[in-house]
Amino acid sequence: MIPLLLGISFLAFMLVRLAPGGPFDRERRPASPEIERRILEKYHLDEPLLKQYARYLGGVLKGDLGPSLKYRNHSVSDIVIQGLPVSMMLGTCAFLFALGLGLPAGFYAAARQGGFGDYASSLVALCGVCVPAFVVGPFLVMEFAIRRKLFPVALLESPMHLILPTVTLGLYFAGRVARLLREGMLGLRDAEFVVAARAKGMTDVAVLRRHVFRIGVLPVVSYSGPMLADLLTGSFVVENLFQIPGIGVFMVNSSLSRDYTMIVGLVLVYAVLLLMLNLFVDLAYRWLDPRVSYD
Amino acid sequence: MGNCRFKVQGLLALGLATILILSGCGRREPRADVVIINGTDPESLDPAIITALEDYRIVPGLFEGLTRIDPVNAQAIPGLAERWDVDEGGRAYLFYFRPGLRWSTGDPLTAHDVVFSWLRLLDPRTAADYAAQLYCVKNGEAYSTNGITDASRVGIRAIDDLRLRVELNHPVPYFLDLCASPTLSVVPRKTIEALGDQWLQARPLPSSGSHTLEIWRLNDKIRFRKNPLYWDAANTANNTVEFLPVGSPATALNLYERGAADIIWDKDLVPAELLKDLKQRPDFHDFPYIGTYFVRFNTTRPPFHDARVRRALALAVDKRRIVERIIKGGESPAGHLVPTGVANHLAPESLGQDEAAARRLLSDAGFPQGEGFPVFEYLFDSAAGGGSKVHAKIGVELQEMWRRELGVRMELRQMEKKVYLAAQTGLDYDLSRSSWVGDYNDPNTFLDLFLSNNGNNRTGWKDERYDGLMRQANVEQNPRRRSELLRQAESILVAEEAVVIPLYFYRGFQFYDANRISGIHGNILGMNPVRTIRNSEATRTNGGVVHDRDARASAAAGAGKPQ
């Protein structure tokens, strides 16, 4: 894991510097080249890249992700500490929403394979996957916040404020989960253990629930790792639309503003989360499928 | 299987518990008296660092300078200094401080604090983008660029706690306006020396302005509370003010419509497609604003090194069409660079619109009916908030006008903002969309951009006559003659040499319900001090008074921390 993180940090550090323009290129240039030079010197941007990377890595090892080059009175660590819990809170809710909606929908479609219920739920799932958040979000706001006044339009001040962002963020993943579960379960329709269970006289629903679901859900479990990493690190569209103070907005804006330290810091946070969640997924596999072992 | 069901139930219970726990994490503060949607997140609240408009609108509430802006007419009026003497024909100022000034933490605020703040601004280690605002001070530039290291040689000196003497290189007619600029505000020495770049994280943060900083959460909110130790606290019209950094115009408008915010004070914060309808509403307020949208020529690239070509292109632009068809916000077409209404400004001759003259000029330059004219590019950036659409639409309109009237072909070249800036700075463009918002109420804030040695020139244009006229204007003490010199310089810039094509002057936009919100004035700088903004509903809720008790307790709670 450590070598992988080192590789990721090195690549991120070098790649962001390939983009033209720098963090201190603004509409208004400083009055003198001396000031520009001082700014670069202050943030060590005048040093050779490898030296900068070594300096950065030294800071990271001490838990310091460096100062933000855009928000110069804040450190990247502070921004992550402030925003990550908010993004994680929203991401967790969206994750649970995706599973809560996607699993029953997928199960229902698999159980009613070829019937109206299957087509209907598959169509809804497909819509969830196809319609992007920047369409779903404004629609939900317009209908439920502006017209019906059931929910707040934006900000994060109470549990009610979480509902629309959760639905907006989770709908896509709910659709993916439903489709994955349906495919996973249908693939097992003729498996030997299913035939055996049926031969013992179990009803179709009981076979699906007790035997097929447990194995058929494995593709969803595999997908859960990257899905959760995506959700926990925030979404630019949803956080921007609902004015949620997470780190999703910084993920995009730091690239646009060439905030080098912030970009690399956030990439590292994302990488750590992704690696950890994939590890959990591997462990969950063993828990769910007795055929899997890691000897 | 029973085991599996148990696991599933356990997971569901865990999920539910997580939701309940996490849902309780929403951060709630009581609604502020005034909630303002301010635009994107401020990059900093450090007066020496800030450069963006969003920052400029907030910082004066926390830190005040020797003078401050009169919200009605944007003129400089006494701030921390109650009066001043002007000596040596405008080359020296003696400021007299108000007796008994205090930081919000209770420590005395003296002339020595101004010396520290201004030297800090000039200090190269601060790396302040706007250090040049003090280059007019004796030895200010030399100190800022490492020419001298002895701070005592800079013309800023505290005679005692209540008197400050400032010596200038030459008379600067707008020096008192500069003193009101947030960049020159007074900042707390002890806090900065103790915490370095992180000094704004100190709580309580010593404030010299009308409010103290209670909360600053990036991408969430900034919350001010009234500073009871401010010298003019009796006239502060609110107890708490919140600034919401909303990036999406639709969200900003939704929050405003649902009452979660009282004021939107930026045109870019309402959806452009709704502007036409929104302008009809009684809560829409607009005013002339110190900003100009213009086109830059790269004068180092043929054929744009030829003034006749530049003038020809400028003469063929129908600015009214751009304003009426694309911008639609009531902006006025610009005949010159300095917006109408700026103090000390005399309008120069402008080129106007004359297609026949344009064709003649192009022909004189060797391109009759545009024959042989190379295909050129129009550079513009993909700004946020729908700005890119405006830039692109203007580009398309110009493309068509020049094709139709002059027979020349232009291609559009859109770039991401930082790449666009790098291209502009490196003169890697033919024509480029540009804009400028003035820092203070004087033509100089626009015209000095095009001095040969100014880093913001970005056209490659150097003109001895222009530089000479600007130099003369800078030392001219007679206001009328100075305005005339500036007029001549601007005339060279926009008419004779046509280095830029001014397209339109900005207008400022605000949305607020005037029956409820008062104390906002549309001045040309677009700078409205938060101290004057009153929400009559919030005042009624507080029993009709804006009371100091909460603020005093809050200030006292942190007394003794580093200042």
Domain span at residue B412 reads: 286-507
Q: What is the pLDDT of residue A190?
A: 83
Report DSSP letters for A190-250, one per residue. T-HHHHHHHHTT--HHHHIIIIIHHHHTHHHHHHHHHHHHHHHT--HHHHHHTT--SSHHH
Nearest CA in chain A to B420: A21
To probe the interface with A, which of B201, B218, B273 has the most A CB atoms within 10 Å? B218
Of the two residues B520 and B268, the one the predictor is more confident about is B520
Q: What is the pLDDT of residue B555?
A: 40
Q: What is the pLDDT of residue B318?
A: 97
Does pLDDT of B21 surpass 70?
A: no
Q: What is the pLDDT of residue A102?
A: 95
Cross-chain Cβ contact B44/A73 below 8 Å: yes
B250–chain A Cβ distance below 8 A for any pair: yes
Q: Tell me: cis bond preceding A290? Omega within 30 of 0 counts.
A: no
Does pLDDT of A169 surpass 90?
A: yes
Nearest CA in chain A to B133: A31
The C-alpha atoms of residue B95 and residue B85 are separated, in whole angstroms, by 7
B453–chain A Cβ distance below 8 A for any pair: no
Chain B residues close to A215, C-beta within 8 Å:
none
Chain A residues close to B217, C-beta within 8 Å:
82, 245
How would you classify residue B294: left for phi > 0, otherwise alpha for psi between -120 and 50, otherwise beta?
beta
Q: What is the pLDDT of residue B389?
A: 80
Q: Does some domain include residue B48?
A: no
* pLDDT tens-digit series, residues A246-279: 999 898 889 989 999 999 999 999 999 989 988 8
* pLDDT tens-digit series, residues B366-378: 999 999 999 999 9
Residues A54-66, mean pLDDT to the nearest whole number: 92
Q: Does some domain include residue B439?
A: yes
Q: What is the pLDDT of residue B556?
A: 38
- A272 CB contacts (<8 Å, ≥6 apart)? A5
Chain B residues close to A35, C-beta within 8 Å:
124, 127-129, 131, 144-145
Say whether both B516 and B503 belong to one domain. Answer: no
Count structural domains, chain B: 3
Say which range, A19-28, B202-211, B401-410, B438-447, has the weakest mean pLDDT: A19-28
Q: Are B500 and B337 in contact (CB under 8 A)?
A: yes
Say whether both B202 and B304 belong to one domain. Answer: no
Does pLDDT of B551 surpass 70?
A: no
Does pLDDT of B147 surpass 90?
A: no
Q: ∠B170-B175-B181 over CA atoms, to 5°?
A: 145
B450–chain A Cβ distance below 8 A for any pair: no
Cross-chain Cβ contact A96/B15 below 8 Å: yes
B14–chain A Cβ distance below 8 A for any pair: no
* pLDDT tens-digit series, residues B110-145: 999 999 999 999 998 888 888 889 999 999 999 988
Q: What is the pLDDT of residue B188?
A: 97
Does pLDDT of B400 surpass 60?
A: yes
Question: Could you tell me the two tokens for A208?
Answer: 């699906």
Q: What is the pLDDT of residue A197?
A: 87
Does pLDDT of B9 surpass 80?
A: no
Q: What is the pLDDT of residue B7?
A: 52
Q: What is the pLDDT of residue B27?
A: 56
Q: Does some domain include residue B324?
A: yes
Q: What is the pLDDT of residue B558?
A: 38
Cβ density class B357-379: b for 16+ within 10 Å, e for less: ebbebbbebebeebeebeebbbb
Say whether both B290 and B378 belong to one domain. Answer: yes
Residues A203-228, mean pLDDT to the nearest whole number: 88
Q: What is the pLDDT of residue B12?
A: 55
Residues B533-540, mean pLDDT to the nearest whole number: 83
Name the band, by pLDDT with cuts 50, 70 and 90, for residue B432: very high
Cross-chain Cβ contact B23/A162 below 8 Å: yes
Q: What is the pLDDT of residue B547?
A: 42
Percent of chain A with pLDDT over 90: 58
* pLDDT tens-digit series, residues A72-128: 889 999 999 999 999 999 999 999 999 999 999 999 999 988 889 899 989 999 999
Of the two residues B104 and A196, the one the predictor is more confident about is B104
How would you classify residue B196: left for phi > 0, otherwise alpha for psi between -120 and 50, otherwise beta?
left
B27–chain A Cβ distance below 8 A for any pair: yes
Does pLDDT of A144 surpass 90?
A: yes
Assembly ipTM:
0.86
Chain A residues close to B127, C-beta within 8 Å:
30, 35, 38-39, 42
Chain B residues close to A250, C-beta within 8 Å:
219
Cross-chain Cβ contact B248/A243 below 8 Å: yes
Say whether both B310 and B363 belong to one domain. Answer: yes
Does pLDDT of A133 surpass 70?
A: yes
Q: Does some domain include residue B271?
A: yes
Give me the CATH number covering residue B132: 3.90.76.10
Chain A residues close to B19, C-beta within 8 Å:
92-93, 96
Q: What is the pLDDT of residue B128?
A: 87
Give me the CATH number covering residue B331: 3.10.105.10
Nearest CB to A258; choose among B124, B128, B418: B418
Q: What is the pLDDT of residue B130?
A: 87
Cross-chain Cβ contact B197/A73 below 8 Å: yes
* pLDDT tens-digit series, residues B38-52: 988 899 999 999 988
Cross-chain Cβ contact B251/A35 below 8 Å: no
Chain B residues close to A152, C-beta within 8 Å:
258, 260
The C-alpha atoms of residue B122 and residue B33 are separated, in whole angstroms, by 37
The two beta strands, B34-37 and B240-244, are parallel
Residues A139-155, mean pLDDT to the nearest whole number: 93
Q: Name the β-bridge partners of B67.
A: B78
Of the two residues B555 and B263, the one the predictor is more confident about is B263
Q: Does some domain include residue B263?
A: yes
Q: Does some domain include residue B334?
A: yes
To probe the interface with B, which of A18, A25, A35, A156 has the most B CB atoms within 10 Å? A35
| pLDDT winner (highest mean) among A174-178, B382-386, B416-420 | A174-178
Cross-chain Cβ contact B132/A214 below 8 Å: no
Residues B425-439, mean pLDDT to the nearest whole number: 94
Domain C-terminal end among B474, B490, B507: B507
Say whether both B376 and B499 belong to one domain. Answer: yes
B 166-185 residues inside an 8 A Cβ radius of A = none
Name the band, by pLDDT with cuts 50, 70 and 90, for residue B548: very low
Residue A62 CB-density burial (10 A; 0-12 exposed, 13-18 middle, 19+ buried): exposed
B244–chain A Cβ distance below 8 A for any pair: yes
Chain B residues close to A34, C-beta within 8 Å:
124, 144-146
Q: What is the pLDDT of residue A88?
A: 93
* Nearest chain A Cα distance for residue B382, angstroms: 11
Does pLDDT of B392 surpass 70?
A: yes
Q: What is the pLDDT of residue B540?
A: 60
Name the band, by pLDDT with cuts 50, 70 and 90, for residue B563: very low
B258–chain A Cβ distance below 8 A for any pair: yes
Say whether both B416 and B493 belong to one domain. Answer: yes
The C-alpha atoms of residue A22 and residue A260 are separated, in whole angstroms, by 9
- B225 CB contacts (<8 Å, ≥6 apart)? B211, B212, B214, B239, B240, B550, B551, B554
Name the band, by pLDDT with cuts 50, 70 and 90, for residue B546: very low
Say whether both B72 and B151 belong to one domain. Answer: yes
Q: What is the pLDDT of residue B26?
A: 52
- Which domains are assigned to chain A? 2-61 (no CATH), 85-288 (1.10.3720.10)
B24–chain A Cβ distance below 8 A for any pair: yes
Say which range, A23-27, B266-270, B381-385, has the weakest mean pLDDT: B381-385
Nearest CA in chain B to A214: B4
Cross-chain Cβ contact B132/A71 below 8 Å: no
Rg of chain B over CA atoms, in angstroms? 26
Name the band, by pLDDT with cuts 50, 70 and 90, for residue B539: low
The two beta strands, B263-264 and B34-37, are parallel
Does pLDDT of B560 surpass 50?
A: no
Nearest CA in chain B to A35: B127
Q: Does some domain include residue B52?
A: no
Say which range, A21-35, A52-66, B284-298, B400-414, has the weakest mean pLDDT: A21-35
Q: Does some domain include residue B248?
A: yes
Say whether both B79 and B25 belong to one domain. Answer: no
Cross-chain Cβ contact B44/A72 below 8 Å: yes
Say whether both B263 and B343 belong to one domain. Answer: no
Say whether both B261 and B296 belong to one domain. Answer: no
Of the two residues A230 and B315, the one the predictor is more confident about is B315
How many contacts (CB atoms, under 8 Å) link A and B? 183
The C-alpha atoms of residue B444 and residue A198 are separated, in whole angstroms, by 88
Distances (CA, A) of A192 to A114, A152, A216, B210: 22, 52, 14, 78
Residues A135-142, mean pLDDT to the nearest whole number: 94
Q: What is the pLDDT of residue B248?
A: 85
Say whether both B114 and B260 belong to one domain. Answer: no
Cross-chain Cβ contact A158/B28 below 8 Å: yes
Chain A residues close to B45, C-beta within 8 Å:
73
Half-sphere exposure of A7 (CA within 13 A, CB side): 4
Chain B residues close to A241, C-beta within 8 Å:
248, 250-251
Q: What is the pLDDT of residue B295?
A: 98
Say whether both B345 and B382 belong to one domain. Answer: yes
Cross-chain Cβ contact B244/A155 below 8 Å: yes
B213–chain A Cβ distance below 8 A for any pair: no
Cross-chain Cβ contact B124/A38 below 8 Å: yes
Does pLDDT of B276 surpass 90?
A: no
B300–chain A Cβ distance below 8 A for any pair: no
Distances (CA, A) of A231 to A81, A92, A99: 17, 7, 13
Cross-chain Cβ contact A96/B18 below 8 Å: yes
- Helix and strand totals (H; E) in chain B: 18, 19
Question: Could you tell me the two tokens for A286?
Answer: 């063993």
